[in-house]
Structure 1
Amino acid sequence: GMPLVWMLKLLGNKKQERVTGSDLFQDICLHAQTRGVSLYFVRSETPVLERMKARLQEEFPQLAIAGMESLPFRPLTESEDEALIQRINESGAGVVFVALGCPKQEKWIAQHRGKINAVMCGVGAVFAMYAGLVKRAPDRWQKFGLEWLYRLIQEPQRLWKRYALTIPPFLVLALKQLFTTEATTHHEVAELVDLPSRNHQPIGQLLQQAGLLTLEQVETTLNLQSHHPHLRFGELLVQQGWLAKQTIDFFAEHLPQVSHQTSKQPLGQYLKSAALLSDRQIQTILEEQPQVGLRFGELAVHKGWLKRETLDVLLQHLQPELPAVA
């Protein structure tokens, strides 16, 4: 929401924009229709799914709907959950939208990570809004960060407790961070925007997004670079022993070009080029894949050889039409 955007801008990220669940949902539907990627929808109430399906078929007539699942409000039994996982995987869905409300949907996605062979995306009340059962706040309310208030007016009994428990802690923590974070740190983080990169994304930011660097490591490296301007950001990372030169070169030079390549290599080859997996690890994954039924990247994450964030960044470049959202 807008409060997060404002907070990030105050911390130095001046280019931060708002990405709403509703906009993301419709953008993915459009790209999925264009690319022939099927979608699966998980929600609690059947009427919402039925009305949403009717609108989807009208606005995206070529969209492949792999399935729609109405879950009971109670927790699923183990056998029910296994059957659900099987239905989703057998449907061939590339993206699974989960609209169970926060934090239930986030917990559900976390519990099914590595079990469901698709990108999972939590979208909260988007289904109800798209189905026309919940009215979205007008643009002016959204612009001033008051969409939460508009929703509270619509559903006071359901939402008052959630907002009472989440908004005050956010304000306290946000103010604490603003008043305790040094201005130099804000400046250093903002400098990430100016670091050179083939795809216009700062290499430090990209490596942090991929889970290969922490914010503290990025800030430390920027500080070192201010004292040693003749050294490049990547060279300092290698000197600190935080990353291999091969890994940095891959993310700085090769990865930005991947999304533009018409013929892509297997994921394992990219991970080998980035010095993130060895030949032996790749061979082990390939041998175990038929037995466990997981995709290459999921199995690498499951074994602890690859971070989830790293896999997500790679998939964003290998499949740019569908962002890795879960």
Structure 2
Amino acid sequence: MSQNPNIKTVDVIGLPVAVVDYRSAIDWVFEKARLADRAYAIEAANTHVAALARHEAEFGEVMQQFDLICPDGMPLVWAINRELRKHNERALSDRVYGPTLMVESIKASEGQEDLKHFFLGGSPSTLKKLEQRFSDEHPAAKIVGSYSPPFGEWSEDEFERIKDRIRESGANLVWVGLGCPKQERWIAKHKDVLPGGCYFGVGAAFAFHAGEVDQAPPIIQKYGLEWLYRLIKEPRRLWKRYFKYNSLFLYFYIRGIKLC
């Protein structure tokens, strides 16, 4: 991992999570996007990502390829703040939530011709809604393309097709919504050969912003209960994931405290 030396990180169950807010994360991202000397991998990590990276060595190696890991989940913020307070350092006041990071980045790029966005993932209808929403709400932002890859296993030439689409668009801010952990594995696997710019793993952000899935109310997000809200909405799909990885996160975190 090649973290910016100006950004402090805190180890959260083995994951080096950046001590950033939206402004500092966006400043870092825009600097790297403009540089575009290589592909930079950015993740908004929640407890699922952190626990999976600790539990499965292969995914842990995937996350080591990421250049900036933001604290998406409130439990990660609480873990970071516990360490910061030990050293009398200023605590974070909020998380860096992936869907909000996406909106704020697009908003902050308005009127800046050298910052260009591309959406990768989701269905054609989802992408159409995304492009329409951001064009309506942030007309001065440069949305230069999108691509909906086929479902299931991809053919051998699919990566070349995606890479060509991104390069031809001129995008240097690429939002990847393939779902976790597929999007993280895809970014890490191809990082060395992707066009220069910033690549974000943003999970359900596409569905949220396209209006296809409801986001939890802010008060629920603040208290780290977004997982419960989503579980109530989609119990059959999410209960196993939340039970397993929330439990694993607690186990690894508590064990780490005891070992200190």
- Shorter-chain TM range is 0.5 to 0.7
Determine if contact 2:135/2:143 at 8 Å carries over to the other structure.
Answer: no
Give the match for residue 215 of structure 2: 136
Matches within 5 A, 1:70-149: 70-117=148-195, 118-149=197-228
Shift of 1:43: 1.2
Deviations 1:300-326 (A, max 9, x none): xxxxxxxxxxxxxxxxxxxxxxxxxxx
Shift of 1:161: 2.3
Deviations 1:117-138 (A, max 9, x none): 2210011111111111111111
Of 146-155 and 110-119, more deviation after overlay is shown by 110-119
Of 30-39 and 128-137, more deviation after overlay is shown by 30-39
Report the secondary structure of 2:111's partner residue: helix
Give the match for residue 177 of structure 1: 256
Give the match for residue 42 of structure 2: none
| 1:5 partnered with 2:88 | no
- The separation in 2 between residues aligned to 1:157 and 1:105, in whole angstroms, is 22
* Aligned-partner residue type, residue 109 of structure 1: I
State which of 15, 19, 24 in structure 1 corresponds to 2:91: 15
Give the match for residue 137 of structure 2: 59
* Aligned-partner residue type, residue 6 of structure 1: W
Give the match for residue 128 of structure 2: 50
Give the match for residue 190 of structure 1: none
Report the secondary structure of 1:120's partner residue: strand
Matches within 5 A, 1:295-306: none
* Aligned-partner residue type, residue 154 of structure 2: L
Larger relative contact order, structure 1 or 2 (CA cutoff 8 Å, min sep 6)? 2
Report sequence identity in percent: 41
Report the secondary structure of 2:200's partner residue: strand
* Aligned-partner residue type, residue 89 of structure 1: R
- The separation in 1 between residues aligned to 2:218 and 2:248, in whole angstroms, is 26
Of 50-59 and 75-84, more deviation after overlay is shown by 75-84
The structure 1 segments of at least 4 consecutive aligned residues displaced by more than 3 Å after TM superposition are: none
TM-score normalised per structure 1: 0.53
Superposed CA RMSD in Å reads 1.4
* Aligned-partner residue type, residue 70 of structure 1: S
Give the match for residue 313 of structure 1: none
| Count of residue pairs the alignment pairs up | 181
Report the secondary structure of 1:124's partner residue: coil
Shift of 1:28: 1.1
Determine if contact 1:66/1:91 at 8 Å carries over to the other structure.
Answer: yes
| 1:157 partnered with 2:227 | no
| 1:166 partnered with 2:245 | yes
- The separation in 1 between residues aligned to 2:202 and 2:158, in whole angstroms, is 23
Structure 1: gaps spanning 5 or more residues: 182-326
Determine if contact 2:119/2:146 at 8 Å carries over to the other structure.
Answer: yes
- The separation in 1 between residues aligned to 2:204 and 2:119, in whole angstroms, is 13
Give the match for residue 104 of structure 2: 27
- The separation in 1 between residues aligned to 2:156 and 2:81, in whole angstroms, is 44
Shift of 1:44: 2.7
Determine if contact 1:11/1:178 at 8 Å carries over to the other structure.
Answer: no
- The separation in 2 between residues aligned to 1:64 and 1:139, in whole angstroms, is 28
* Aligned-partner residue type, residue 15 of structure 1: A
Determine if contact 2:112/2:141 at 8 Å carries over to the other structure.
Answer: no
Determine if contact 1:43/1:98 at 8 Å carries over to the other structure.
Answer: yes
Of 168-177 and 113-122, more deviation after overlay is shown by 113-122
State which of 93, 113, 116 in structure 2 corresponds to 1:38: 116
TM-score normalised per structure 2: 0.66
* Aligned-partner residue type, residue 92 of structure 1: G
- The separation in 2 between residues aligned to 1:151 and 1:101, in whole angstroms, is 15
Structure 2: gaps spanning 5 or more residues: 1-72
Deviations 1:43-93 (A, max 9, x none): 132221111111111101122222111112212212121121111112110
Deviations 1:215-241 (A, max 9, x none): xxxxxxxxxxxxxxxxxxxxxxxxxxx
- The separation in 2 between residues aligned to 1:44 and 1:55, in whole angstroms, is 15
- The separation in 1 between residues aligned to 2:199 and 2:183, in whole angstroms, is 10
Deviations 1:122-161 (A, max 9, x none): 1111111111111111111111110011111112222222
- The separation in 2 between residues aligned to 1:83 and 1:43, in whole angstroms, is 13
Shift of 1:23: 1.6
